Amino acid sequence: MALWGLVALLLAMPLASTHTQKVPPLPSIALESFPPDARASLEAALQRAKAQPSDPDASGGLGITLQAWEQWEAAHAAYLRAQALAPAGPDWWYLDGLVLQRLVRHGDAAEAFRRASQAAPDLLTARARLAEALFDAGRLAEAAAAYDALAKEPAAAPVAALGRGRLAARAGRHAAAVVEFEQAIALFPEFGAAYYGLAQSLRALDRRDEARAALEKHRAYGPRWPAIADPLSARVALVRDDPRGHLLRGLRQAELGDLKGAIEAHEAAIARNPSLAQAHVNLISLYGRTRQWAQAEAHYKAVVALGYNLDEAHYNYGVLLGLQQRIPEAEAAYRAAIGANPQHAMAHQNLGQILEADRKVPEALDEYRLASLANPQLRVARFNLGRMLLALRRNEEAAAEFARLQEPQDAESPRYLYAWAVATLHAGRREEGVTLARRARQLADQFGQKDLVAAIDRDLAKLQ
Give the integer Cα–Cα distance in Å for 463 and 254. Answer: 50
Q: What pLDDT sits at residue 257?
A: 66
Q: What pLDDT sits at residue 306?
A: 95
Q: Has residue 242 got a pLDDT over 50?
A: yes
Three-class DSSP labels, the chain = CCHHHHHHHHHHCCCHHHHCCCCCCCCCCCHHHCCHHHHHHHHHHHHHHHHCCCCHHHHHHHHHHHHHCCCHHHHHHHHHHHHHHCCCCCHHHHHHHHHHHHCCCHHHHHHHHHHHHHHCCCCHHHHHHHHHHHHHCCCHHHHHHHHHHHCCCHHHHHHHHHHHHHHHHHCCCHHHHHHHHHHHHHHCCCCHHHHHHHHHHHHHCCCHHHHHHHHHHHHHHCCCCCCCCCHHHHHHHCCCCCHHHHHHHHHHHHHCCCHHHHHHHHHHHHHHCCCCHHHHHHHHHHHHHCCCHHHHHHHHHHHHHHCCCHHHHHHHHHHHHHHCCCHHHHHHHHHHHHHHCCCCHHHHHHHHHHHHHCCCHHHHHHHHHHHHHHCCCCHHHHHHHHHHHHHCCCHHHHHHHHHCCCCCCCCCHHHHHHHHHHHHHHCCCHHHHHHHHHHHHHHHHHCCCHHHHHHHHHHHHHCC
Which pTM value belongs to this model? 0.61
Q: What pLDDT sits at residue 3?
A: 35
Give the integer Cα–Cα distance in Å for 90 and 85. Answer: 12
**Side chain identity at 24, as an amino acid letter?**
P
Q: Has residue 10 got a pLDDT over 70?
A: no
Q: Has residue 9 got a pLDDT over 50?
A: no
pLDDT by residue (tens digit) across 150-192?
A: 999 999 999 999 999 999 999 999 999 999 999 999 999 988 8
Q: What pLDDT sits at residue 223?
A: 67
Question: Worst-scoring range by mean pLDDT, 6-15, 143-152, 320-329, 429-438?
Answer: 6-15
**What value does the CA radius of gyration of the chain take, rounded to a whole number of Å?**
28
Q: Has residue 149 got a pLDDT over 50?
A: yes
More confident residue, 385 or 206: 385
Q: What pLDDT sits at residue 431?
A: 94
Q: How many CA atoms lie less than 13 Å away from 425 in the CB half-sphere?
A: 16
Q: Has residue 20 got a pLDDT over 90?
A: no
pLDDT by residue (tens digit) across 271-291?
A: 999 999 999 999 999 999 899
Q: Has residue 7 got a pLDDT over 80?
A: no
Query: What average pLDDT does range 318-330 have in this prediction?
Result: 95
Give the integer Cα–Cα distance in Å for 323 and 202. Answer: 37
Query: What average pLDDT does range 135-162 have in this prediction?
Result: 96
Question: Chain-wide mean pLDDT for the chain?
Answer: 90
Helix crossing, 208-221 with 192-204: angle to 10°? 160
Q: Has residue 138 got a pLDDT over 90?
A: yes
Give the integer Cα–Cα distance in Å for 128 and 136. Answer: 13
Q: What pLDDT sits at residue 16?
A: 35
Under 8 Å between Cβ of 124 and 116: no
Q: What pLDDT sits at residue 220?
A: 66
Q: How many CA atoms lie less than 13 Å away from 293 in the CB half-sphere?
A: 9
Query: What average pLDDT does range 435-446 have in this prediction?
Result: 91
Helix crossing, 192-204 with 157-170: angle to 10°? 30
Q: Has residue 224 got a pLDDT over 90?
A: no
Dihedral through CA 325, CA 328, CA 330, CA 336, nearest 10? Answer: 180
Q: Has residue 79 got a pLDDT over 90?
A: yes
Q: What pLDDT sits at residue 212?
A: 83
